[in-house]
Amino acid sequence: MGCTRGDAGPAVGDLMAHHQFAGHDGGIVIRIEEDSVDVAMASAWIRAVASAVEEHRDQLTQLDAAIGDADHGANMSRGFTAVLAALEDFQAGTVGEVLTKTGSTLMSTVGGASGPLYGAAFRAAGKTLTDATVTPRELVEALHAATAAVTQLGAATLGDKTMLDALAPAVSAFEEALFHGADLASAAADAAKAADEGAHSTIPLQARKGRASYLGPRSIGHQDPGATSTALIFAALAGAVAGR
């Protein structure tokens, strides 16, 4: 391709990842190939969440046993089992429809706090994605909408030891990575890392929302179950966009 790594710095490597072809006037035109998310990728993400929930079901239950009522693993498992069934013969025409279906199913099958919260989050995200293929930037906007829905419904703020402590940093990391020119796969990987760190960051916090808040200072020293399942959701997204 005639490009060599050197004085031009990292931009050369970036451009090499994209196609070059001759323009009308014979000059070289660089076409930036935009990453995108389509219906199949969105479905793969949700199926990956369902697998991760099954794999970590006992861990989620144990975390909730420590500071809640030991049902988070069962709640998430029931919800995503129903989501898998609902998506099976659902012909989604847009990325948003996959997420909206996921949210509606969670809302109708999971009680307690996490069902309505995750339900509202997926529905809010889905509502914004009205095309068959969406850009990473549009995905970030959808994730912002999901965060707003969780905040509106749960009234938690950062540091209250809830799912928001994983969700908000994940969305920020995703957005920042894209801003700095990262592709979809590495932005999603950054988001997954931030969600995981966010989940761990809940350990020393005292819960101020949900059932765990009834424990007061005794909630300190345990990782929040909802923040942990949110980290699973972002790990699944990173896996799905990386094609794993």
The residues binding ligand ATP (CB under 6 A) are 64, 68-69, 71-72, 75, 112-114, 117, 150, 154-156, 162-164, 209-212, 224-227
Amino acid in the structure at residue 209: K
Report residue 29: phi and psi, to 5°.
Answer: -110, 135
Shortest distance, CB of residue 113 to Mg ion, whole angstroms?
Answer: 7
Shortest distance, CB of residue 66 to ligand ATP, whole angstroms?
Answer: 10
For tokens 């990386």, the residue is 242
Shortest distance, CB of residue 72 to ligand ATP, whole angstroms?
Answer: 4
Q: Is the CB of 68 or the CB of 79 nearer to Mg ion?
A: 68
Can you tell me the distance from the alpha carbon of 208 to that of 224, in angstroms, rounded to the nearest whole number? 11
Answer with the entry of Mg ion, ligand ATP, none that 163 interacts with (C-beta below 5 to 8 A by kind): ligand ATP
Shortest distance, CB of residue 43 to ligand ATP, whole angstroms?
Answer: 24
Q: Is the CB of 68 or the CB of 96 nearer to Mg ion?
A: 68
Q: Is the CB of 42 or the CB of 168 nearer to ligand ATP?
A: 168
Can you tell me the distance from the alpha carbon of 117 to that of 82, in angstroms, rounded to the nearest whole number? 16
Shortest distance, CB of residue 149 to ligand ATP, whole angstroms?
Answer: 11
Q: What is the 3-state secondary structure (H, E, C) of 17-55?
A: CCEEEECCCCCEEEECCCCCEEHHHHHHHHHHHHHHHHH
Interface residues toward Mg ion, by CB under 5 A: 64, 68-69, 71-72
Neighbouring residues of 33: CB distance < 8 A, sequence distance ≥ 6: 17, 18, 19
Can you tell me the distance from the alpha carbon of 69 to that of 126, in angstroms, rounded to the nearest whole number? 30
Hey, what are 205's tokens?
Answer: 């916090």
Answer with the entry of Mg ion, ligand ATP, none that 56 interacts with (C-beta below 5 to 8 A by kind): none
